[in-house]
């Protein structure tokens, strides 16, 4: 699996990290200071997309509702901030706060709980129902937050100031960027451990064949649910960061198109690879920004690009680049997966009788 090899290229990784660390300085020096904000957004979406990828790419579960957890993360920050600034406790006993050390864990916890509830229900089915159900539940939460007038309803919640971290000046864009960078790095390190652990092993096994996993004695439901929860928590974390970065939380964060965008990031970068989603997030956001600056009809272009990527590339940008770079192991992986697609189509439901008969006679 190439998830394994992802960290085996420490030199590349170190280089990328150095560039990321130097990025704000470079941005300022070259006069493109907007680059820092762009990079912050990429990191945050990278976390969200990588979380989604845990269920989607590693677990093979197509969730179309992950924006819900992203939005919940954002609202936890927003709601806690509102109660903090109004100085009235939530439900009469939970004091509001603007401390990131509290809001982030709270966001992770609450989105994890939501993921547990939604996952527990939607995982009772599979396949296409799962897609529809996750989408529907996300839409339900969207409507819920639209109707919550106390928290801004349709218009969302403005967070006047980014949450505070002891000893840091969070009003500085660079500081926010570095905080996000540290969190992203920690998150990916954790994810790397998870996907290569025993847990990751059964998760990837389930994606390949649920039948086989049952036959070796694995009860699938609980592992899938756990993956769903972890992934929801990751999206919640990303949403909380996003709310801090934008100083705004709104129902749009959990709109179904946001779920779609997260999926697009995953597929752009490469499904089931550790860093693919981060690359995908970068490609998506740069693409969106560039296209939007050219034409207001950028979604049209995006739609065509998406169609092209889905229909004609297998494995997203990362695989495309690697294939162009002629890495033999990737070429192999490619033709293999393409071949399998054909094999699935050709494989008869049952082995032909005549073939069998000659077999029995032998």
Ligand X SMILES: Nc1ncnc2c1ncn2[C@@H]1O[C@H](COP(=O)(O)OP(=O)(O)OP(=O)(O)O)[C@@H](O)[C@H]1O
Binding residues for another protein restricted to 165-194, rule: CB under 8 A: 193-194
* 335 interacts with another protein by CB under 8 A: no
- Name the binder of 260 from ligand X, another protein, none, CB < 5-8 A by kind: another protein
Binding of another protein at residue 209 (CB under 8 A)?
yes
Residue 49 binds to another protein (criterion: CB under 8 A): no
> Residue 297 interacts with another protein (CB under 8 A)?
yes
**What is the rounded radius of gyration, in angstroms, for the C-alpha atoms of the chain?**
22
Output the DSSP codes for 155-200. Answer: G-EE-SSPPB-TT--TTSHHHHHHHHHHHHHHHHHHHHHHHTSHHH
Other beta carbons less than 10 A from residue 154's beta carbon: 12
Contacts with ligand X by CB under 6 A lie at 350, 356
Q: Which does 171 bind (CB under 5 to 8 A by kind): ligand X, another protein, none?
A: none
Q: Beta-carbon neighbour count of residue 179 at 10 Å?
A: 22
Q: Count residues contacting another protein (CB under 8 A)?
A: 86
The residue from 11, 311, 324, 325 that contacts another protein (CB under 8 A) is: 311
Minimal distance in Å, beta carbon 356 to ligand X?
6
Contact letters for another protein, residues 113-152 (x by CB under 8 A): --------xx-xx-xxx-xxx-xxx-xx--xx-xxxx---
For ligand X, which is the closer residue by CB, 149 or 350? 350
Q: Give the number of C-alpha atoms closer than 13 A to the C-alpha of residue 135, restricted to the C-beta side.
A: 12
Binds 29, which of ligand X, another protein, none (CB < 5 to 8 A, cut-off by type)? Answer: none
CB of 94 to ligand X, least distance (A): 53
**DSSP string across 16-74:** HHHHHHHHHHHHHHHT-THHHHHHHHHHHHHHHHHHHHIIIIIS----S-THHHHHHHH
Nearest by Cα to 264 from 286, 281, 251, 278: 281
304 touches 65 (CB < 8 A): no
Instruction: Tell the smallest beta-carbon distance from residue 214 to ligand X (Å).
Output: 16
Judged by CB, which is closer to another protein: 105, or 260? Answer: 260
Between CA 234 and CA 225 the distance in angstroms is 14
**Among another protein, ligand X, none, residue 341 binds (CB under 5-8 Å by kind):** another protein
Instruction: Please provide residue 167's backbone torsions phi and psi, each rounded to the nearest 5 degrees.
Output: 85, 0
């Amino acid at each position: 699996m190439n998830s394994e090899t992802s960290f085996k290229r420490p030199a590349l990784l170190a280089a990328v990290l150095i560039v990321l660390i130097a990025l704000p300085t470079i941005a300022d020096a070259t006069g493109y200071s907007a680059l820092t904000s762009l990079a912050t957004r990429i990191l945050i979406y990278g976390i969200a997309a990588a979380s989604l990828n845990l269920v989607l790419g590693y677990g093979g579960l197509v969730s179309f509702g992950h924006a819900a957890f992203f939005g919940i993360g954002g609202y936890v920050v927003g709601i806690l901030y509102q109660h903090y600034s109004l100085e009235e406790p939530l439900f009469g006993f939970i004091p509001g706060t603007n401390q990131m050390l509290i809001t982030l864990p709270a966001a992770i916890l609450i989105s994890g709980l939501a993921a547990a509830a939604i996952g527990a229900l939607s995982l009772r089915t599979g396949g296409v129902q799962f897609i529809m159900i996750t989408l529907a539940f996300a839409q339900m939460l969207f409507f819920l937050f639209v109707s919550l007038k106390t928290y801004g309803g349709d218009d969302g919640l403005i967070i006047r100031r980014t949450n505070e971290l002891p000893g840091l000046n969070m009003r500085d864009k660079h500081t926010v960027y570095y905080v996000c960078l540290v969190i992203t790095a920690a998150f990916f390190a954790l994810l790397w451990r998870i996907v290569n652990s025993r847990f990751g092993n059964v998760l990837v096994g389930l994606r390949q064949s649920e039948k086989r996993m049952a036959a070796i004695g694995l009860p699938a439901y609980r592992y899938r649910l756990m993956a769903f929860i972890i992934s929801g928590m990751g999206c919640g974390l990303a949403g909380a960061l996003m709310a801090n970065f934008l100083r705004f939380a709104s129902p749009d964060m959990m709109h179904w198109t946001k779920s779609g965008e997260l999926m697009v990031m995953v597929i752009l970068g490469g499904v089931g690879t550790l860093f693919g989603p981060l690359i995908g997030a970068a490609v998506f956001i740069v693409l969106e920004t560039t296209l939007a600056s050219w034409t207001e009809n950028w979604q049209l272009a995006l739609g065509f690009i998406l169609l092209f990527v889905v229909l004609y590339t297998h494995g997203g940008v990362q695989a495309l680049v690697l294939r162009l770079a002629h890495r033999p192991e990737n070429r192999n992986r490619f033709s293999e997966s393409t071949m399998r697609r054909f094999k699935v189509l050709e494989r008869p439901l049952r082995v032909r009788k005549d073939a069998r008969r000659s077999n029995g006679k032998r």
